[in-house]
Every structure is written in C-alpha cells, then in structure tokens.
Amino acid sequence: MIDTNNNISSNRALRWLQGFNPLCVAIALSLLMLAAIIALKGLVYNADTPSYIGAWNGCTRHGDIDTFRTPLYPAVIGLGRLIFGQAHWALFPLLLQTVVFYACGIPFSRMIRSVISNRRVGWFTIFLYFLFYPIVNTLNLLGTEALAFSLTSLWTYCVWRFLQRARLGYGVAIALLTLTEIMLRPSLLILAMAIVGLAVAGVFMKKYRRQVLWLLLTLIPTGVVYKLYVDEMESRTGVSTISTVSIVNNYYMAREFNDIYPELLADNPEALRVMQSHRKEGDRLSEQYILMQYTEFDILVDSCIMNYSDIDRYAARVKHEHPDVWYSNIMKRIVDSFHAQGPVKNICNDLVVMLYTIAFVAIWIVRRRFSLVNFLILMLGGGSLLSVLLYAQNDFGRLMLPTSAILILMGGQLIDYTVNFLRNKLPRKL
C-alpha cells in the first residue's frame, strides 16, 4: 500500500514537472542566478571600463572619436548617463545586456534543438547556455564581452536560417549584426571571415550555392562602413586599423618580457632610453605590471618620441625579424593566462575544438558527408582559438568569451554524437 502511494505521488510530481516548458525553466534559473550573483558581488566594473568612459567623454566634450576604442560601447555608456544620470548609469548596460541576451537566446535555443538530435542532450546544452551567461555578464558587465556573447549567438542563428532559405530579413540582420559585432570588438572580424569561408565551401554544393552567394553580398555594406572608418582612423593615426588598441597589444608582445632590439631603434636613441628605463619585474598578470606597460607606451606617444605609425612599424619588424621570440612570447602569455584563469576551463575549450575538428574531418572522409552548418560552427569555434595568435593581447581568455555560446553548442554536439554512437554500437557487440 505504501509503495502504491509512493508511486502515485511520484507520478503526480512527474506530471507536475512535465507541465513546465523547459525553456521557461532555463530562463527562470538563469535570471535567479544572475540576480544572486549581482546581489552578492554587486556591479563589477571591467578593467577596460575607464577607457570606454574616457572615449565617451572625449566624444561629447571635443566632438571627436576616440582612436583607442571603437564607438559602439562608449555610446552604450553615454546613453546610460543620459537616461539614469551620473550616479546610476551602470544600470543601463546591465538592463540592455540582459534583455539582449534573452532575446538572442530564445532563437539560438531553437537552433540547438534542431542541430542536436537527442532531446535530452539538446535541453542539457540549452540549460548550460543559459546558466553560463550570468557568469559572463557579471564578470564583464561594463565591457564588450557579455554583449558580444549574445549577439554572436543571434548572428549564428540568422546565418543558419539563411542557409535554409535566403530571406531578405535574415540577410539584413546578418549585415547589421556583422557590422555591430566588429564595431563592438574588432577581433570579431572572424565573423566576416566565416561568411567568406561558407561562400567558398558552399559554392561547390548545389543545395547551398544560391544561399551562400547571397550571403556573401551581406558583407558589402559591412565592408563599406568598415573601410570608411578605417580610412578615418588612418588619417588620424597614420595606421590602417579600426582601433589603436591593436597597436598597443602588438607593442606589448614585442616588449612583454623586456626584450629590446637596439638595431631596430638606431635612428631613435630616445625611444631606446625610455624602453631601457622601464624594465618590468614581478607577476606579468598583475595590475602593476600591465600599468607599467601602459605608462611606457603613453610616454613614447605623448612625448612625441614615437607616433602610432613608428610603434606599429617597430612591433612589425620585431615580429618579422625575430619570429621565434615573438611567438615564444605569445605562447608564454597563453600559458600564464591558462593558469591564472583556470586550467579546467581552458582545457575544456581546447579539447572541445580539437575533438570537434577530428569528428568533422572523420565524418567528411569516412562517410563522405560535409555539413555546411557544422563547418560554420567549426570556423567560429576554431576561429576564436586562432584569434589568440592573430590578436595578441594581455588577456587571452577574454578573446574566447564572445564565441563561448558556439563552444557550448560544439560540446553539446559532441555529447550527442557520443550518445548516438554508443546506442548504435554497443547492442551489436552484446
């Protein structure tokens, strides 16, 4: 009798739980987690926040764009100040990023359920996606990573839908999102590269030939705006770049470990003197170490000892004439970040991309089946790892955050492949 009552109670509880939409449950848990983290830690200011505020102040006071930061995120901060005032302006980025995330997450969850065949694995991936965001948002609240995380997932969804059927609405959305993401974080040029990669691969597939050619056209407005902005930056700095932060990062790699090459500074003894006087010691990941690098760069520029073009040429010559040192410095920096930001997370990122690449190539060769959607996912996930080498900077972990949604999807697909493989193979052996 007791067992029967227990079974009835269990069935009632199960039916009660089944009445909830899993997507609503995932969103509710995500919101609770976000609220709990903010309640415990408060609003966390990103290390780059002061430079975004400075970029907005420079624009409003002098009517001039900031050469160090692209204008999109400073405008977000500026709107926050106009709406909520000086004291509570941070509420606007918080609200904006939260609303954008859930608006982007709902369509992205549809893609997850379609790409992953196993229902349970699909919902597990969706829950992981929604529960990962509060961590990204609160750790990088007043920086570009959280917003880029959401927009990248929506961009991927739009491209996925466009490959199914080339509709004007999705094409316009892709063009706007590509431009927005590049102006938000220049390293997301990998999105434009992914479109080119899809076009090259899809043109050989009759099913997708028309869609990928139309998709390629979405890069035209993006390319025009990008070129106009880069030309304006070149007229101001003498360097063809979308942001001088790339020049700073390259200079850091040239000087990260106190390397100096006098033969490259033969015509500028004053620059050599400044570099020799700024020998950095201690923890390379510490704030003091990084600030000393900023100070050295600022002295060179503000004192007119070297301009942006000179610094860019110096870093380029170090990279060209001493590639062993250059890439050795990058690898050392990656190892430093690897340990500082949690080896488990970094191992998972690297392992997911490596296993996904192996699975993709194996299916392509063995089964002679090439999935354009999986190729898109691989380009985005693998491209974020490749950007570590292309866009040298002092915090490599943050380069991965905007594409973390894709890495979560890749992990879910790998679990799905494994479950299906075991289901198909194990019974035969038994």
Verify that 253 and 275 share a domain, yes or no. yes
Question: What's the rounded Cα separation, in Å, for the pair 255 and 224?
Answer: 35
Verify that 378 and 284 share a domain, yes or no. no
Verify that 185 and 209 share a domain, yes or no. yes
- Is the confidence at residue 300, as pLDDT, over 60? yes
Verify that 44 and 119 share a domain, yes or no. yes
User: Average per-residue pLDDT in the chain?
Assistant: 83
Give the amino acid at 183. M
Weakest mean pLDDT among 31-40, 51-60, 190-199, 286-295: 286-295
Verify that 203 and 258 share a domain, yes or no. no
Question: What's the rounded Cα separation, in Å, for the pair 46 and 188?
Answer: 19
Give the amino acid at 282. G
DSSP string, 369-428: ---HHHHHHHHHHHHHHHHHHHS--S-THHHHGGGHHHHHHHHHHHHHHHHHHHHHHHHH
Token pair in block for residue 47: 């290390």
Whether residue 10 is contained in a domain is answered as no
pLDDT at 1: 46
pLDDT at 2: 46
In this structure, what are the phi and psi dihedrals at residue 303, rounded to the nearest 5 degrees? Answer: -85, 5
Last residue of a domain, one of 320, 335, 350: 335
pLDDT digits (tens, 9 = 90+) for 220-236: 999 999 999 999 999 98
pTM over 0.85: yes
Contact 182, 223 (CB under 8 A): no
Last residue of a domain, one of 288, 312, 335: 335
Verify that 105 and 55 share a domain, yes or no. yes
Give the amino acid at 300. L
Contact 377, 403 (CB under 8 A): no
Count CB neighbours of 419 within 10 A. 15
Burial code (b: 16+ CB inside 10 Å, e: under 16) for 369-388 equals eeebbbbbbbbbbbbbbebb
Question: What's the rounded Cα separation, in Å, for the pair 428 and 413?
Answer: 23
Q: Which residue has the tokens 């790998």?
A: 414
pLDDT at 379: 93
Verify that 89 and 107 share a domain, yes or no. yes
pLDDT digits (tens, 9 = 90+) for 182-217: 999 888 889 999 999 999 999 988 899 999 999 999
| SS3 at position 409 | helix
Domain holding 312, by residue range, is: 244-335
Number of folded domains that form the chain: 2
Give the amino acid at 384. S
Verify that 218 and 250 share a domain, yes or no. no
Distance of CA 120 to the CA centre of its chain: 27
